[in-house]
Structure 1
Amino acid sequence: MVVGNRVEVQVLTTLKCNLRCSYCSLGVGDVLGSQKKVRYSVDQLAAFLERHLSDKEVYFTLYGGEPTLNLAFGRQLMERFPNSRFNMQTNGTLLQRVPDGMLRRLSNILVSVDGGEAVTDRFRGKGVYAKIFRNVNAVREKTFATLTARMTWWSAETTFEEIDELTALFDYVYFQFAQDAGANSPEAVAAKKTVLDRLVAKFFASDSLYPIVPIMGTVRNKVLPWRLRELTGGMTQCRVSTNLLNVMPDGKVYPCPDMLYAGELLQ
C-alpha cells in the first residue's frame, strides 16, 4: 500500500563504503561491501516505476554504502529522470568528488555525523569530522540543496553544545537514537533526555526557526494532526510501510534500509 501521492525511492548505488563505522547496520549479516556494482539498468528501473508507481510523484535518494563511490550511476539516473527531485545520503568525506552539475540537481544533501568531533571521530575514524566540515563548506556555494546533518545519537557523551553547533553549519539537524541496546542504558537515556530538554527549550524560546527536525515534526503532529494522517496514513512515520522503497544494487527491493540483512522483508 502506498499512502499519498509521493514515493521516495532510495537507490543504493553500491554497498561499498570508504569508512568502517563501528555500529553500521549494514555490517549485520555481512551486507556491507557485498554488492559493489549496480546489476540492473536505468531503463529497467524506469519500467518498474512506470508499472507500479505511474500515478505517483517519485523522487530519488542516492544511498549506499557510500553513493559518492558510484557517481556514474547517479548521473545516469539524473539524465534518465530530468524532472525528478534527487537527494543524497553521504558520509560527507568524498563530497568534493561530486561534479558541479550533480550538486546543482540535488534538493537535499544529508551528511552523517554522530555528534561532536570527538564522538564522530571515535565511531568513524580520526579526522572525519573536520573533513566533513571542510567539504560541506566547500560545496555550499555550488548547490541549491538543503544541507542536513543526519546524526545517529549513540553516545551519551553528546552534548547540547555539540548539537547546537551543527545548526550553525547545516540548514537542518536530524537525529535518530541508535537502536543498539548498548546505547540505551538507564544512565545513557537520562543523559540524552537532559540534552533533549535543552533542545526543546531553545526551540520554543527562539524567535526564528530552530532547525531540529525531530522537534519540528513533533510540533507539526500536535498542531496539524491531519498532516500526519495524510503523509503516513496513521502508520509508522519512518514510512517503510507506506511510501519508501529501497532498491539494492542487485535490484532487490526492501522496505527498510537498516534491515537489509533480513531476507524475509524482500518485496
Structure 2
Amino acid sequence: MMLWLVFTTGACNLRCSYCGGSFNPKVVPWRINYNPVKLKELIEKDNNATVIFYGGEPLLNPRFIMWMMDNVKASRWGIQTNGTLTELLPNEYWRRMSVVLLSIDGRREVTDAHRGFGAYDRVIKALMRLKSIGVNRLIARMAVTRLTDIYIDVTHLLNIGFNLVHWQLDVIWDGKWDVLTWAKSNYLPGVRKLVELFLSNLREGRVIGIVPILGVLTAYLHKPYRGPPCGAGYRSIAISTDGRILSCPIAVHENWAVLGNVNVGFNLIDIESQLPEMCKTCEYRQYCGGRCLYAIKEGEEYWGLDGVLTVDYVTKETIRTILEIGPEVKELVNKGVVKLSDLYYDPILDSTEVIP
C-alpha cells in the first residue's frame, strides 16, 4: 500500500505568506508534460493505492483529475486543496473522493491574515457544499504560525464540521523566528489543553479527530513508525508535473529527493539509513520517526543547528504530553469504553501530518 501524491499543476491562485504561491514553472511545470498512461501503469501495480491530488492548487487542472479518476484503478482518491475553486470539479467526482483536505488555519482572522482577505469564508462555503453533496471525510489542513492559538483554532475547526484536523508548524522552510518563546508561552500549553479535551471525550466513548494525538497514540498502542509518519520516500511518493518521482512533495529542487521518473519507474529509500544519529538513539523515535525527511536533509541549511534543536524540543514536548494519557487510554480500552481499533490511525490513508 502506497500514497501517491500527484501534482496536477505547479500553479496556485493564492499567495499565502508562508508559501509564496505558485512554483517556478521551470521547476514544477504548470501543465502535465509526461504521458499520464505511464503514471497509470505505475499506480496500477499497487493493489491498494491511495491517490491524492496535489499542487500548486490541484483544481486549476480539473480535466487531469477527471481523466485520472476515470481511467486509473485506485483504492482511494483524495485531494489537498485551498478550497477556493471546488466548483470546477463536477459533483460526481467529489462523491468518489475518500478524503478531501481543505487548507484553513483556524479562525477567520488567522486564516485571512496569511491566505488573503475572504479566504476563510470561501473555504467554509466549500466545506458546507461538499458536506451537502455527500463528501463524508473532510480534513482541515492548518499552517500554525505565531498568530495561532492552537487550542482555540483546532477546536473551532472541529466545531464547524471538519472530521479531523492536522497541522504543520511554520518552521524550517520559512524565515526563522522565535519559536521557542512562542511554544513555551502559547503553543505547548495549548497542546496540553487539546490532549485534556481528547481524554475527556474518550472517557465518554468519543474519539475526536485531532490527528497528532491519534497518530502518536497509534504508535503507542499499535505499531511504531519506521520513519517520518507521512511516509516520505518509503510509503509515500510525489509525482511532479515533469514526470519526476520525488520522496517528498516540497523537495522539488533537491536532487536527493528524486527517486525515479514515470517513464522508467522508481526505487523507494531505506528510511532508517536516512535518519541522523540523534533520531536513531532518541527515546521518542517510535512516535516521531524523525518528524520530517525534508527537515532532516535541509533543516540546518535553513535554520542552523540551534533552530533544528528548537523544533526538536517542541516535538519532544508535544509527544511527552500525549504519552502522559497513554496509561489511562489503555485502561479505557480494557474497560470497553472505547475500542482499540477506534484508536488506530494511518496517516498514509489521509496524507496527513502526525508530527507537526
User: TM-score if structure 2 supplies the norm length?
Assistant: 0.66
Question: What's the CA shift for 1:84?
Answer: 3.1
Tell me the secondary structure at the aligned position of residue 92 of structure 1.
coil
**CA distance in structure 1 between the aligned counterparts of 2:238 and 2:86, rounded to whole angstroms:** 22
Partner of 2:213: 215
> Given the superposition, is the C-alpha separation of residues 39 and 143 from structure 1 closer, same or farther in structure 2, using an over 3 Å criterion?
farther
> Given the superposition, is the C-alpha separation of residues 41 and 32 from structure 1 closer, same or farther in structure 2, using an over 3 Å criterion?
closer
Deviates more, 1:172-181 or 1:242-251: 172-181
**CA distance in structure 1 between the aligned counterparts of 2:78 and 2:60, rounded to whole angstroms:** 16
> Given the superposition, is the C-alpha separation of residues 183 and 93 from structure 1 closer, same or farther in structure 2, using an over 3 Å criterion?
farther
**CA distance in structure 2 between the aligned counterparts of 1:32 and 1:165, rounded to whole angstroms:** 39
**CA distance in structure 2 between the aligned counterparts of 1:98 and 1:183, rounded to whole angstroms:** 38
Partner of 1:138: 129
Q: Where do residues 30-179 of structure 1 align in structure 2 (5 Å cutoff)?
A: 30=24, 34-49=28-43, 54=45, 56-168=47-159, 169-179=161-171
Structure 1 residue corresponding to 2:4, chosen from 9, 15, 18: 9
Question: What's the CA shift for 1:55?
Answer: 5.2
Bigger fraction of residues in strand:
1
Aligned length: 252
Question: What's the CA shift for 1:161?
Answer: 2.0
Name the % identity.
27
> Given the superposition, is the C-alpha separation of residues 175 and 55 from structure 1 closer, same or farther in structure 2, using an over 3 Å criterion?
closer
Partner of 2:15: 20
| CA radius of gyration, larger in | 2
**CA distance in structure 2 between the aligned counterparts of 1:159 and 1:211, rounded to whole angstroms:** 14
Matched, 1:244 2:226: no
Checking the alignment, whether the CA contact within 8 Å between 1:16 and 1:32 is kept in structure 2 is no
> Given the superposition, is the C-alpha separation of residues 152 and 183 from structure 1 closer, same or farther in structure 2, using an over 3 Å criterion?
farther
Partner of 2:196: 201
Shift >4 Å, 4+ stretches: 25-28, 31-34
Question: What's the CA shift for 1:192?
Answer: 0.5
Structure 2 residue corresponding to 1:254, chosen from 246, 249, 252: 246
**CA distance in structure 2 between the aligned counterparts of 1:125 and 1:138, rounded to whole angstroms:** 21
Question: What's the CA shift for 1:162?
Answer: 2.2
Tell me the secondary structure at the aligned position of residue 186 of structure 1.
helix
**CA distance in structure 2 between the aligned counterparts of 1:20 and 1:243, rounded to whole angstroms:** 30
Tell me the secondary structure at the aligned position of residue 219 of structure 2.
helix
Partner of 1:263: 255
Q: Which amino acid aligns with 2:191?
A: L
Deviation string 1:142-183 (CA, Å, 9 cap, x unpaired) is 133400001111224424222201002201111122224635
**CA distance in structure 1 between the aligned counterparts of 2:68 and 2:232, rounded to whole angstroms:** 22
> Given the superposition, is the C-alpha separation of residues 42 and 122 from structure 1 closer, same or farther in structure 2, using an over 3 Å criterion?
same
Q: Which amino acid aligns with 1:203?
A: F
**CA distance in structure 2 between the aligned counterparts of 1:56 and 1:184, rounded to whole angstroms:** 45
Checking the alignment, whether the CA contact within 8 Å between 1:15 and 1:65 is kept in structure 2 is yes
Tell me the secondary structure at the aligned position of residue 49 of structure 2.
strand
Checking the alignment, whether the CA contact within 8 Å between 1:26 and 1:261 is kept in structure 2 is no
Higher relative contact order (CA 8 A, sep 6+): 1
Checking the alignment, whether the CA contact within 8 Å between 2:142 and 2:166 is kept in structure 1 is yes
Unaligned 5+ segments in structure 1 are 1-5
> Given the superposition, is the C-alpha separation of residues 261 and 83 from structure 1 closer, same or farther in structure 2, using an over 3 Å criterion?
closer
Q: Which amino acid aligns with 1:237?
A: P
Tell me the secondary structure at the aligned position of residue 62 of structure 2.
helix
Tell me the secondary structure at the aligned position of residue 106 of structure 1.
coil
Question: What's the CA shift for 1:27?
Answer: 6.4
> Given the superposition, is the C-alpha separation of residues 47 and 77 from structure 1 closer, same or farther in structure 2, using an over 3 Å criterion?
same
> Given the superposition, is the C-alpha separation of residues 199 and 79 from structure 1 closer, same or farther in structure 2, using an over 3 Å criterion?
same
Question: What's the CA shift for 1:82?
Answer: 4.5
Question: What's the CA shift for 1:32?
Answer: 9.1
Q: Which amino acid aligns with 1:84?
A: S
Tell me the secondary structure at the aligned position of residue 3 of structure 2.
strand
> Given the superposition, is the C-alpha separation of residues 31 and 266 from structure 1 closer, same or farther in structure 2, using an over 3 Å criterion?
farther
**CA distance in structure 1 between the aligned counterparts of 2:245 and 2:20, rounded to whole angstroms:** 17
**CA distance in structure 1 between the aligned counterparts of 2:26 and 2:200, rounded to whole angstroms:** 43
**CA distance in structure 2 between the aligned counterparts of 1:158 and 1:236, rounded to whole angstroms:** 25
Q: How well do the aligned residues superpose, as a CA RMSD in angstroms? A: 2.1
